[in-house]
Amino acid sequence: MIGRYFPISIGILADASTVALQLLRAFKQKKITPKIKGWTKKFILEKSKFLENRDKIKSKNSPIQPNALFKELRKVLPKNTAITLDAGTLCLQATDSLNYYTPPSLFSPLDFGLVGFSFACGLGVKLAKPKKTVVSLMGDGGFGMTISELSTAVEYKINTITIVMNNKSWGAEKAYQKDFFGKRYLGADISSPPFDKVANFYGAKGYKVKKLSDINRVFKKALKVNKPVVIDVDVDPKALYSFRRDSFKHRSKK
């Protein structure tokens, strides 16, 4: 499939370890001196600016903005936390908006579009690393797809914390329709049961958060609960972010 969708300069289809060794030998023969120090210095400078700007974010107490939510989570997440993310634009934002300290600490479906991945992944991570605090972030649509696994979590005492960023929509699809299809919404809005109450029915512990100021307090409570926890957070439905469509412009040239 190399070169089918995206233009390439050199196509390589081979065993990774074999090619890596071949490239290393080729580099040594060419006597290439990479400018590692310069690149590293530039990277560290850009990273410092990014982190500085990230902490300058200010937001109203309600409705909760995603970046403000992530800022609050940075304050309260323990350093031993393993974070699992779901598909969708909110979780893509979370990738760069949270802190990761002790590997393995970030589990993401990347761009595979695995809606519902985060909660199930979190259960697996907790079983593999029981001493870690495991926090799963996902949207209301994604959690609705895998909510039945709460019975698994409760039965086997897999005590993760799931944060449902509830914007009452399929966020990525709605963002596309808003930005590129004249706000002609089709199947973008969804309704869900109160996830905090559903969690309680399963035998887990549920919390509802409607104000940004409640995040810190509720999460600290969740850390002390000896049960699976679901925190249903009302996120501003208007805070929609689109993926880039310009990545696919080359297709129109064929």
Give tens-digit pLDDT for 103-139.
999 999 987 778 999 999 999 999 999 999 999 999 9
| Two tokens, residue 180 | 């590129």
Q: Is residue 134 part of a domain?
A: yes
Strand partners, 136: 84, 162
State the CATH number of the domain containing residue 199. Answer: 3.40.50.970
* pLDDT (tens digit per residue) in 207-251: 999 999 999 999 999 999 999 999 999 999 999 887 666 555 655
Four-residue CA torsion sign, 12, 18, 20, 22: negative
Q: Nearest 5°: CA angle at 118, between 114 and 120?
A: 100
Q: Nearest 5°: CA angle at 224, between 89 and 202?
A: 70
Q: Which domain holds residue 100?
A: 60-234
Q: Is residue 66 part of a domain?
A: yes
The pTM of this model reads: 0.83
Q: Is residue 125 part of a domain?
A: yes
Q: Is residue 119 part of a domain?
A: yes
Q: Is residue 13 part of a domain?
A: no
| Rounded Cα gap, residues 141 and 139, in angstroms | 5
**Residue 114 CB neighbours (<10 A):** 17
Q: Is residue 23 part of a domain?
A: no
For 231, the 3-state DSSP assignment is strand
Domain count, the chain: 1
Q: Is residue 49 part of a domain?
A: no
Q: Is residue 184 part of a domain?
A: yes
